[in-house]
């Protein structure tokens, strides 16, 4: 018997894969299919052989690794004892969400696709590899891939006779939502216990760049760590930020002002939302399982800085009574209007609040039940830990570049998390949690290592170098740090520490100041000057670590190291490339980059 069950599993580091999975689930409901959306590690993998149709959506993290909520699932699939035909009854599709500026683009999705084939599963669609670097963003691949998926699935699982499928959008809420204007106002943000979050206190929030420097960078020190909290160099701190007060005020004005009807239900900041499950396939997230006030949701849960997705345009088109608004929204939300939508939303980085302000008739008619469809939750942001567990006991330090830039819109674009962190004052209490990072430093302290960390990329290396300093194992023969910044006087992060360690013979330190001379100087140029040193380190089995912005730096650094192998080591280009690829496979060439 053919099941009308479609299992949708995701592996997501930031939540994007979950968003796409829920989009597929919504469409599945329109086609009268059942089945849950779950993180891979939340699914009982022993039941997988009983499934018939499965969609996998996954992102990639670190050195081409699978996300945290996919690790157990992936480890099970890699078991050597699994028969090569163990998944022969499954028809599957894999969609990867990645960024081609990373060396191992969509690596987790590629590995998963190959492993499923090896276990006998049958593909329903080609492997989808979405790329954030595409002019139209990930949707350039996601949209046609989902369309291809449904073409196949609806042949396999045609709509049962007598069950209609609406050609209209007809959006309905995924949960049952009721409101009470009781004045009840929870004092704490909705916190998930699954992420093992814990409270810390802001000790210091210091700007490390000069006041007149173009970029504001903060060294934020967090103290009062609960007993038992430990970390090692290379680990990552995760933070779920709060919305900026001015954005919360804007949303309150939109939803509770005189023009706001909210489908006949007058909302106030103190209105309490109670969310319960409608469909067992779509359970209520843990933070929403307790009642939440509108002001709490606006402050702590909904991402008011998010760039709207196509689905949000469809919601507004559904509810607006204004014909002109409906026409424009539907045009942008159509497949033919993709470029128009990108020009309106993505290119200028327009936020969900700015979208709502542009369509006042839609906003004043949004049913409160659809607010949880319109707004996406704030996703956590990760930061390499810049402190040492031994040198900075009971503290966590992060180095944060405050994101602020201009587009064609009048108002500057502000990064949600970095600006919130920059606004924190000493003694503020925030919730954070720890996660293993992608950088793995060698246990043998005699192994020489090259660390390339321009800008805030130097953070994890500070953690490691200061640990070696306190342990008395730091020496200039084994620790080689290449740092880059614009100006010696402007953004030379931790300059006193590096110069002191260098003077004491504990660190070999080189710095590229890109704007302090007529010709621009970057870390790759310094590496090319040190070809003899680089070759000596690599020849002896040394490691290379690269951390920082994923734009051009990682590729340029790798090319400089490759050229060192050619110039000094006697390799040809192909052999040098193979040498570095082998280092990468063995964990001796590691990168941690971000866009």
How far is residue 86's CA from residue 88's CA, in Å, rounded to a whole number? 6
160: CB partners within 8 A, 6+ apart = 4, 32
Task: For tokens 């720890």, name the residue.
Answer: 434
Binding site as annotated, residues for FMN: 12-17, 59-62, 97-106, 132
Q: Which residues are annotated as a binding site for NADP(+)?
A: 456, 514-515, 520-524
Backbone angles phi, psi at 19, to 5 degrees: -60, -45
> How much is the CA Rg of the chain, to the nearest whole Å?
26
Start-to-end Cα distance in the chain: 47
Rounded to whole angstroms, the Cα distance separating 333 from 57 reads 22
Here the tokens at position 213 are 């420097």
What count of residues does the chain have? 595
Give the span between the Cα atoms of 284 and 292, in whole angstroms: 13
**Residue entry with tokens 């951390």:** 547
CB atoms within 10 A of CB 189: 17
Of 291, 345, 287, nearest in space to 316 by CA = 345
Annotated binding site for FAD: 349, 381-384, 415-418, 594
Which residue positions form the known binding site?
12-17, 59-62, 97-106, 132, 349, 381-384, 415-418, 456, 514-515, 520-524, 594
Q: How many CB atoms lie within 10 A of CB 401?
A: 18
**3-state SS of the chain: helix, strand, coil percent to 5?**
35, 20, 45
CA 250 distance to own-chain centroid:
26
Closest C-alpha to 431, from 441, 442, 421? 421
Give how far the C-alpha of residue 595 lies from the chain's centroid of Cα atoms, to the nearest Å.
10
CB contact at 8 A, 169 and 314: yes
Question: How far apart are the C-alpha atoms of 23 and 25, rounded to whole Å?
Answer: 5
450 membership: H or E segment, kind and range: strand 449-452
Q: Rounded CA gap, 470 and 484, in Å?
A: 25
């Amino acid at each position: 018997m053919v099941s009308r069950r479609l299992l949708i599993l995701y592996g997501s580091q930031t939540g994007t894969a979950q968003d796409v999975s829920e989009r597929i689930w919504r469409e599945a409901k329109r086609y009268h299919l059942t089945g849950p959306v779950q993180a891979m590690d939340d699914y009982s993998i022993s039941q997988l052989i009983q499934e018939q149709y499965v969609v996998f959506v996954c992102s990639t993290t670190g050195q081409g690794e699978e996300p945290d909520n996919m690790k157990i699932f992936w480890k099970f699939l890699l078991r050597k004892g699994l028969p090569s035909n163990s998944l022969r009854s499954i028809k599957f599709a894999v969609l990867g969400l990645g960024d081609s500026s990373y060396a191992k683009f969509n690596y987790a999705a590629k590995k998963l696709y190959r492993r499923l084939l090896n276990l006998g599963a049958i593909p329903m669609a080609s492997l989808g590899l979405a790329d954030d670097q595409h002019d139209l963003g990930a949707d350039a691949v996601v949209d046609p891939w989902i369309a291809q998926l449904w073409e196949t699935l609806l042949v396999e699982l045609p709509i049962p006779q007598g069950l209609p499928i609406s050609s209209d959008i007809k959006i309905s809420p995924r949960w049952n939502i009721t409101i009470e204007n009781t004045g009840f106002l929870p004092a704490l943000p909705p916190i998930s216990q699954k992420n093992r979050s814990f409270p810390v206190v802001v000790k210091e929030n210091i700007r490390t760049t000069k006041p007149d420097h173009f970029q504001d960078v903060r060294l934020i020190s967090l103290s009062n760590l609960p007993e038992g909290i430990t970390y090692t160099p290379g680990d990552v701190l995760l933070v779920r930020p709060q919305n900026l007060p001015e954005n919360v005020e804007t949303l309150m004005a939109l939803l509770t002002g005189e023009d706001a009807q909210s489908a006949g239900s007058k909302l106030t900041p103190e209105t309490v939302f109670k969310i319960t499950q409608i469909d067992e396939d779509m359970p209520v997230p843990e933070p929403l399982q307790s009642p939440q006030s509108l002001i709490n949701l606006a402050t702590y849960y909904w991402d008011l800085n998010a760039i709207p997705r196509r689905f949000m345009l469809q919601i507004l088109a559904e509810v607006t009574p204004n014909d002109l608004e409906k026409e424009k929204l539907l045009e942008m939300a159509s497949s033919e209007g993709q470029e128009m939508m990108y020009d309106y939303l993505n290119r200028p980085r327009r936020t969900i609040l700015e979208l709502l302000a542009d369509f006042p008739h839609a906003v004043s008619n949004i049913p409160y039940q659809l607010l949880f469809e319109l707004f996406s939750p704030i996703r956590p942001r990760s930061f390499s830990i810049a402190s040492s567990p031994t040198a900075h006991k009971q503290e966590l330090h992060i180095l944060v570049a405050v994101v602020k830039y201009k587009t064609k819109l009048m108002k500057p674009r502000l990064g949600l998390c970095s600006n919130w962190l920059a606004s924190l004052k000493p003694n503020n209490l925030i919730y954070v949690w720890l996660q293993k990072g992608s950088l793995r430093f060698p246990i043998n302290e005699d192994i020489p290592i090259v660390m390339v960390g321009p800008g805030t990329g130097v953070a994890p290396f500070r953690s490691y170098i200061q640990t070696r300093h306190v342990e008395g194992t730091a020496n200039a023969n084994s620790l080689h740090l290449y740092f880059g910044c614009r100006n010696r006087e402007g953004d030379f992060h931790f300059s006193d520490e590096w110069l002191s360690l260098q003077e004491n013979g504990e660190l070999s330190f080189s710095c590229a100041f890109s704007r302090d001379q007529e010709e621009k100087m970057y870390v790759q140029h310094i590496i090319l000057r040190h070809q003899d040193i680089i070759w000596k380190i690599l020849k002896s089995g040394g490691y290379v670590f690269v951390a920082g912005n994923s734009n051009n730096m990682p590729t340029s650094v790798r090319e400089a190291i490759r050229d060192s192998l050619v110039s000094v080591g006697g390799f040809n280009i192909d052999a040098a490339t193979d040498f570095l690829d082998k280092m990468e496979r063995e964990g001796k060439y590691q990168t941690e980059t971000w866009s």
